[in-house]
């Protein structure tokens, strides 16, 4: 299961699991596993609630042609990463357009 499935499922079970999920200190998220734009946007909306716990973000699927679009959508939503993701140590981007 991906981290998105785990978080989405566990957070809905009960308040105890929600608190456990929200207290985990070191999320390493690969955002390339979200295939649909609507799901991607919904997940990005939720990232602010755990932003201080995210230490790694990745857009890394070499076979996913939607990665450039996701990177652009993400960068428009979160313009200054250091302000929002205060503990971010690692950011991996594949398919980066040189103009970006």
Q: Summarize pLDDT for 20-66 with one digit per residue, the tens.
A: 777 778 888 888 888 788 888 888 887 887 888 899 999 888 788 88
9 pLDDT exceeds 70? yes
- Band of pLDDT at residue 90, cut at 50, 70 and 90: very high
What pLDDT was estimated at residue 2?
Answer: 62
d(CA 90, CA 75): 15
The domain spans of the chain are 26-93
Residue 39 contacts residue 7 (beta carbons within 8 Å): no
pTM for the model? 0.73
7 pLDDT exceeds 90? no
65, two tokens: 């042609």
């Amino acid at each position: 299961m991906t981290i998105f499935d785990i978080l989405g499922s566990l957070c809905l079970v009960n308040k105890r699991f929600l608190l456990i999920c929200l207290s985990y200190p070191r999320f390493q998220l690969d955002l390339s596993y979200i295939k649909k734009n609507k799901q991607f946007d919904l997940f990005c909306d939720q990232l602010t609630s755990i932003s201080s716990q995210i230490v790694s973000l990745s857009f890394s699927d070499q076979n996913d042609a939607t990665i450039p679009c996701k990177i652009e959508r993400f960068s428009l939503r979160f313009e200054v990463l250091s302000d929002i993701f205060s503990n971010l140590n690692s950011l991996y981007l594949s398919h980066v357009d040189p103009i970006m």
